[in-house]
Structure 1
Amino acid sequence: MKAFEYNTNPGRVVFGSGSIKKLPEEVKRLNKSKPLLLSTPQQAEQVKALEPILKNASITPAGLYSNATMHTPTHVTDEALVYANKCGADCVISFGGGSTTGLGKAISIRTGLEHISIPTTYAGSEMTPILGETAEGKKTTRSDPKILPGTVIYDVDFTMTLPESLSATSGVNAIAHAVEALYARNTNPIMNLLALEGTKALAESLPIIVNSPRDQDARSKAQYGAWLCAMCLGSVGMSLHHKLCHTLGGSFNMPHAETHTIVLPHAIAYNAPKIPETMKKLADVLPESDGDAIKGLNVLLTKLKVKRGLKDFGMKEEDVDKAAEIAVGNPYWNPRDIEKEPLRETIRRCWAGEEAKADL
């Protein structure tokens, strides 16, 4: 066996239907009493369900900040910090997907406030010590153990009304975390186990959710898979897939989960010649792959009925060249050298919504 290093990220997980009832216990465990609730505008009403749970345990929320936005713009974080200081919050509770979790992380790392995360999608940001922030049209990322939320409560009940389309894209977003972990420069056998188990759980459960969104067993399995996949992202490095997604999201304002969904099979196809072992492992956990991981991903995305082209979200064809220029600048480590022309064609295929194929 090859030598490797393994670092685990500290964090507490409370998993299961109804586990939200343990939220007051988790706040008190941290010796806190005035949590600031965070959400997006779309989930401002849903997050209010936490208030009676806290108040019944003699915990009064300091307030609710409901302007969380995708890609964590720094000006939104600045506004939230002013509000947190004004209301005297002593910890933050993020409720929602990656946008809200990202805001919770940004506040926590800037202030030192404890962060409890309650995910309602499968994006996985809650399990990573990584913060991606956008300022002046560019998204940058940094990693620090202090960014990781201290406690994560996975209550499947809050995912039951997640729309089928968002369930699909946030689930594939999670798979993307795992796939890159399989061939990361600092991968290791433990991460490989988590990545393959997480990918398998999501690939099996997401098609069921799309057709039967109230299937609690499938929802729970997807949440479990997303947790494992996110642990991978938080423990090893990122490569081409995430570089492209950060470029497209930060510079062209493409929606986060949808962009990951579109890019994933194309990024794998670009790297395929250099990662034959990874391709075999991935094919083994993707239904109907017939031994071909790219085919397995294409089949999965077809089953999930997701949009496949960046043009569907407003990206213009003339933006392809600009995206390629940005992506080749300061590239992340990648198993295949970043070559501008093949990369440009990869981005063009993502823009056009073509099926992925390993021919570049």
Structure 2
Amino acid sequence: MSLTFTHETLPQRVVFASGQAAERAAEEAARLGSRPMLIGKPLIPAVLHHTDVAMHVPVVTAERAREAAAAAGVDVLVSVGGGSATGLAKAVALTTGLPIVAVPTTFAGSEATDVWGMTENGRKTTGSDPRVLPRTVVYDAALTATLPREMAVASGLNALAHCVDSMWAPRADPINRALALEGIRALRAGLPADDREQTLYGAYLAAVAFASAGSGLHHKICHVLGGMFGLPHAQTHAVVLPHVLALNAVAAPDGFGTAELRRLRDAVDAPRALRDHGFRQEDIPAAVDAILPVVPAGNPVPVTGENLRELLQHAWSGEEPR
């Protein structure tokens, strides 16, 4: 059978340098500007160190950061932290065009995508724009050493969700699949062993696959849950993943179905139930109504109000997916 697909690779410089984050981030920032704004954790000298960072990037938080950047006359953004720090830098870049050097301290993956997201009035809006893609990413596994094991697991499973969702996302193609499968291999090896370097490598591959393939059913569900109910990003993805994988079992990644995911979740003591993270059972109907209109076309299994309600019920209670 002939191959017919269109693949787009995003332009980005990637530096893997364990134990060298400060030095390499300073070098990369100097390539792009002379007045850096440091967003998140302290790492390099900067004309402005901005620590007003919040989960899901509230619009008001983004506006404050933009005003601070303009007042300080910065010409390059350096984000140090998890997805919230990266997301805030993207929100500033979206309106200013300032280049970003991203230094991740979790496995969120936002640093390798051109996707931005902001929340206002309980609604998370996302989009893609080349201005928000970090020019350089500096990966240093040593920066994840202080990440608590529980959070590392949730964040790593969030990365795994990027791999899995890339299999049936709107722009899925054989190149995305190859990246995602290697990402799955690295994450399956790294998470149980608490090997932060291998996990970081897998998270990067996962994000690259996801950036090209687009947002599939899993991420549409989690974006709604995070934006409407303020649920923690990584834990929400970790809980929802097995239920979406079970629903879309016909398109499961090669050698990685519900049984393999269950063994991995057991090995790392993964988060199990959305009710443990602030989601209420009475919120399920509203969540269903909000998710149905954004379900991607072409999902391997038709998504209905009934099967979506059942999926969220099981994710809320922590039942194993059917």
TM-score by length of 2: 0.96
| Contact 1:196–1:282, Cα closer than 8 Å, also in 2 | no
Tell me by how many angstroms 1:162 deviates: 1.0
SS of match in other structure, 1:33:
coil
Which whole-Å CA distance do the structure 1 matches of 2:14 and 2:235 have between them? 27
Other-structure match for 2:276: 312
Q: Summarize the alignment of residues 1-360 of structure 1 with structure 2, pairs less than 5 Å apart.
A: 1-20=2-21, 21-30=23-32, 32-39=33-40, 47-51=41-45, 61-209=46-194, 218-273=195-250, 275=251, 278-279=252-253, 281-283=254-256, 293-333=257-297, 334-357=299-322
Structure 1 stretches of 4+ moved >6 Å: none
Deviates more, 1:21-30 or 1:346-355: 21-30
Tell me by how many angstroms 1:17 deviates: 1.1
Tell me by how many angstroms 1:84 deviates: 1.1
Deviates more, 1:194-203 or 1:332-341: 332-341
| Contact 2:102–2:137, Cα closer than 8 Å, also in 1 | yes
SS of match in other structure, 2:212:
coil
SS of match in other structure, 1:8:
coil
Which whole-Å CA distance do the structure 2 matches of 1:318 and 1:138 have between them? 18
Tell me by how many angstroms 1:196 deviates: 0.5
Q: Report how many aligned residue pairs link the two structures.
A: 319
Which whole-Å CA distance do the structure 2 matches of 1:77 and 1:167 have between them? 26
Deviation string for 1:215-271 (max 9, x for gaps)?
Answer: xxx211111100000001111122210111011000011100000000001011111
Which whole-Å CA distance do the structure 1 matches of 2:255 and 2:78 have between them? 35
SS of match in other structure, 1:103:
helix
| Contact 2:29–2:78, Cα closer than 8 Å, also in 1 | no
SS of match in other structure, 2:57:
coil
SS of match in other structure, 1:116:
strand
Which whole-Å CA distance do the structure 2 matches of 1:175 and 1:338 have between them? 22
Which whole-Å CA distance do the structure 1 matches of 2:273 and 2:196 have between them? 26
Which whole-Å CA distance do the structure 2 matches of 1:152 and 1:48 have between them? 16
Which whole-Å CA distance do the structure 2 matches of 1:237 and 1:282 have between them? 22
Which whole-Å CA distance do the structure 2 matches of 1:259 and 1:282 have between them? 24
Deviates more, 1:183-192 or 1:136-145: 183-192
Which whole-Å CA distance do the structure 2 matches of 1:282 and 1:117 have between them? 33
Which whole-Å CA distance do the structure 2 matches of 1:207 and 1:93 have between them? 31
Which whole-Å CA distance do the structure 2 matches of 1:88 and 1:147 have between them? 19
Say what the alpha-carbon RMSD is for the aligned residues: 1.2
Deviation string for 1:13-49 (max 9, x for gaps)?
Answer: 010213321222212211x11111111xxxxxxx324
Which whole-Å CA distance do the structure 1 matches of 2:164 and 2:186 have between them? 13
Tell me by how many angstroms 1:207 deviates: 1.0
Which whole-Å CA distance do the structure 1 matches of 2:43 and 2:172 have between them? 40
SS of match in other structure, 2:100:
strand
TM-score by length of 1: 0.86
Which whole-Å CA distance do the structure 1 matches of 2:75 and 2:190 have between them? 38
SS of match in other structure, 2:237:
helix
SS of match in other structure, 2:213:
coil
